[in-house]
Amino acid sequence: MQERLQELQTEAIQKVDQAAGLKELNDIRVAYLGKKGPITEVLRGMGKLSAEERPVIGALANEVREAISARIEAKQSELEEAAVQEKLAGESIDVTLPGRPVNVGSHHPLTKIIEEIEDLFIGMGYEIAEGPEVEQDYYNFEALNLPKGHPARDMQDSFYITEEILLRTHTSPVQARTMKKHQGKGPIKIICPGKVYRRDNDDATHSHQFMQIEGLVVGENIRMSDLKGTLDVFAKKMFGQDREIRLRPSFFPFTEPSVEMDISCKMCGGHGCSVCKQTGWIEILGAGMVHPNVLEMAGYDSKKYTGFAFGMGPERIAMLKYGVDDIRHFYTNDVRFLKQFAIEE
Ligand SMILES: [Zn+2]
């Protein structure tokens, strides 16, 4: 009987060691240690043994049972650990694989230009002012020295909603509103970006809706030289330190004197090329000293206060800066066009 028990132990341990999986291991447990297993059978036959033999065989049977049980437990942990490792290996991530591309939007080129101009003027102490796009005739024209019937009103074909209300044709009404709000007191330093509307037929250089950025400075002793210095800083920061500016006499009803500002052509360095139409200069914006009538209408003493104003088109600046040849590209939302501006961000 002792031999039989020894044999069972050797046999069981051998099988446990060879077990390939948890199920097989469980089968071995049932086969050797179960109620119908050979060890239980040995113990059942103990009644036939003598009183001396019985405790010896009983103790041995327990030893064998415990040895097999311990071996099964050890094997079980081993198999479980292997299963976990296998699962982890299957789920491992190769960090060297390239990621899936994500489509990211980008700022619209006009937004970028406007933000760049805003940052530049905020750096010079300006504030940003905004006003309504549906505007009163008074602020859009009358307060800017353009009374009803003034021939210069024809320079800006307008979308009228009623006789007194229209879509603003420029951002200048924000000037008039800001000056009125300051009740005849200075100083004012603002820029006003926004949409404006004109009855134009859309083509490569015209759009019925476009953007403007207006600038206004009002204070004591504001002179033409202040305007020129400001525009020079703007042109150099926006287009490059090597750019020159020149002011040409012009006419706007709300400024006196009025000027147009040109910058030297980057393409040809001022020698003349197709971009600058052989002149060496490119027109950028209109400006001038605020007309005394405009100051007076807003409640300022034009003998004490002076000011300058300038207005520019972000589309034109973006076209020059990025080499865009058709203003309509900014409004047709062609992703192939817009995507080109994502690269710089
Ligand atoms: Zn040129």
DSSP string across 130-187: ---SEEEHHHHTGGGT--TT-GGGGGS---BSSSSEEE-SSSHHHHHHHHHHTTT---
Centroid of ligand 1 to alpha carbon of 256 (angstroms):
30
Say whether the peptide bond before residue 253 is cis (omega within 30 degrees of 0): no
Centroid of ligand 1 to alpha carbon of 265 (angstroms):
4
pLDDT digit string (tens) for 245-279?
999 999 999 999 999 999 998 888 888 888 788 99
Could you tell me the CA-to-CA distances from 117 to 191, 234, 321 in Å, in that order? Answer: 9, 8, 13
Q: Which amino acid type is present at position 105?
A: G
Centroid of ligand 1 to alpha carbon of 264 (angstroms):
8
Centroid of ligand 1 to alpha carbon of 97 (angstroms):
49
Contacts of 115 (CB under 8 A, 6+ apart): 107
Centroid of ligand 1 to alpha carbon of 277 (angstroms):
7
Centroid of ligand 1 to alpha carbon of 69 (angstroms):
95
Q: Does pLDDT of 343 surpass 70?
A: no
Centroid of ligand 1 to alpha carbon of 273 (angstroms):
4
Nearest to 198, CA basis, from 209, 188, 187, 186: 209
Q: Give the pLDDT confidence score for residue 51 in this predicted structure.
A: 80
Contacts of 40 (CB under 8 A, 6+ apart): 33, 34
Centroid of ligand 1 to alpha carbon of 149 (angstroms):
40
On whether the CB atoms of residues 307 and 188 are closer than 8 A, the answer is yes
Q: Which of 104-113, 151-160, 303-312 has the highest mean pLDDT?
A: 303-312
Centroid of ligand 1 to alpha carbon of 244 (angstroms):
13
Q: Does pLDDT of 290 surpass 80?
A: yes
Centroid of ligand 1 to alpha carbon of 321 (angstroms):
14
Centroid of ligand 1 to alpha carbon of 270 (angstroms):
6
Residue 25: pLDDT band with limits 50, 70, 90: confident
More confident site: 9 or 308? 308
Q: Which DSSP string do the residues of 17-70 spell out, in sequence order?
A: HH--SHHHHHHHHHHHHSTTSHHHHHHHGGGGS-TTHHHHHHHHHHHHHHHHHH
Centroid of ligand 1 to alpha carbon of 266 (angstroms):
6
Work out the average pLDDT over 117-143.
95
Could you tell me the CA-to-CA distances from 16 to 10, 103, 228 in Å, in that order? Answer: 10, 56, 96
Tokens in use for 289?
Answer: 């000293």
**Which residues line ion ligand 1, judged by CB < 5 Å?**
265, 267-268, 273, 275-276
Centroid of ligand 1 to alpha carbon of 109 (angstroms):
23
Residue 55: pLDDT band with limits 50, 70, 90: confident
Q: Give the pLDDT confidence score for residue 345 in this predicted structure.
A: 46
Q: Which helix (H) or strand (E) holds 264?
A: strand 255-264
Work out the average pLDDT over 227-244.
93
Centroid of ligand 1 to alpha carbon of 239 (angstroms):
14
Say whether the peptide bond before residue 187 is cis (omega within 30 degrees of 0): yes
Could you tell me the CA-to-CA distances from 142 to 129, 193, 196, 300 in Å, in that order? Answer: 20, 21, 17, 16
> Phi first, then psi: what are they for 177, rounded to 5°?
-65, -40
Q: Which amino acid type is present at position 246?
A: R
Task: Output Rg (C-alpha) for the chain, integer angstroms.
Answer: 45
Nearest to 136, CA basis, from 111, 160, 105: 160
End-to-end Cα, the chain, rounded Å: 87
On whether the CB atoms of residues 68 and 13 are closer than 8 A, the answer is yes
Centroid of ligand 1 to alpha carbon of 245 (angstroms):
14
How many residues does the structure list for the chain?
345
Centroid of ligand 1 to alpha carbon of 324 (angstroms):
16
> Phi first, then psi: what are they for 311, rounded to 5°?
-145, 140
CB atoms inside a 10 Å sphere around CB 309: 25
Centroid of ligand 1 to alpha carbon of 232 (angstroms):
19
Centroid of ligand 1 to alpha carbon of 284 (angstroms):
14
Work out the average pLDDT over 319-337.
87
On whether the CB atoms of residues 340 and 106 are closer than 8 A, the answer is no
